[in-house]
Amino acid sequence: MKKILYASALLIITCTFSSCEILGDGCQVCRTVSYDNGNPIAWGTEGEYCDEELLAIKAIPPSTVGGVTTYWECR
């Protein structure tokens, strides 16, 4: 009985730390990257995005201001 309780607790803890990944729902880590003449010059903070939030980020087109183009990149 203790083994089952221990295994259940371990599974719950694992799900808490990797919530999107354990469900297999296509989460990705994304950040913005700015390019000047094809060379990366600035990187945003990475964050994990899932479901509708991930789709919304992927739908954002690149923006160019003063020759610097910023994209959302996901892995």
Report DSSP letters for 46-62, one per residue.
-EEE-HHHHHHHHTPPP
Q: What is the pLDDT of residues 39-63, one digit of tens each?
A: 999 999 999 999 999 999 999 999 9
pTM above 0.85, yes or no: no
Strands (E), the chain: 28-36, 39-43, 47-49, 63-65, 68-74
Check residue 8 and give its pLDDT. 55
Mean pLDDT of the chain: 82
Check residue 7 and give its pLDDT. 53
- Pick the range with the lowest mean pLDDT from 9-23, 28-42, 52-66: 9-23
Q: Where are the domains of the chain?
A: 25-75
The region, left, alpha or beta by phi > 0 then psi within -120 to 50, assigned to residue 56 is alpha
pLDDT above 70 (res 19): no
